[in-house]
Amino acid sequence: MTRLYNKQTGALIGPITDDQLRDLIDLLVEESADDRDYYIDRDTLDYLEENQVDAELLALLRKHVPEEGEGIDIEWRHDLA
């Protein structure tokens, strides 16, 4: 199972599907082939929405990205649970 985490705090954001992960990988910038983290702010959420990313993934991310100011760094991990 793949889960998203807040990279700074280590807090679980929530589980995501393989299709949702594929959307993140396809639409967001990766700095290397091993990159598993992304900076998400309100502009990024708007970009994902414009590109028709799954509504459940957007709702999950919106809960964790502040309305004002800076965004957050998220990372994905394949967990055993």
Q: b/e map of 4-31 (b: 16 or more CB within 10 Å)?
A: bbeeeeeeebeebeeebbebbeeebeee
The span from the first CA to the last CA of the chain, in angstroms, equals 7
Q: What is the pTM of this model?
A: 0.88
Domain borders along the chain are 2-78
Give the pLDDT of residue 80. 73
42-64 pLDDT, tens digit each: 999 999 999 999 999 999 999 99
Sheet of 37-40: strands edge to edge? 12-16, 2-6, 72-78, 37-40
Closest CA to 72 of 12, 11, 7: 7
Q: Which two tokens stand for residue 30?
A: 């990766």
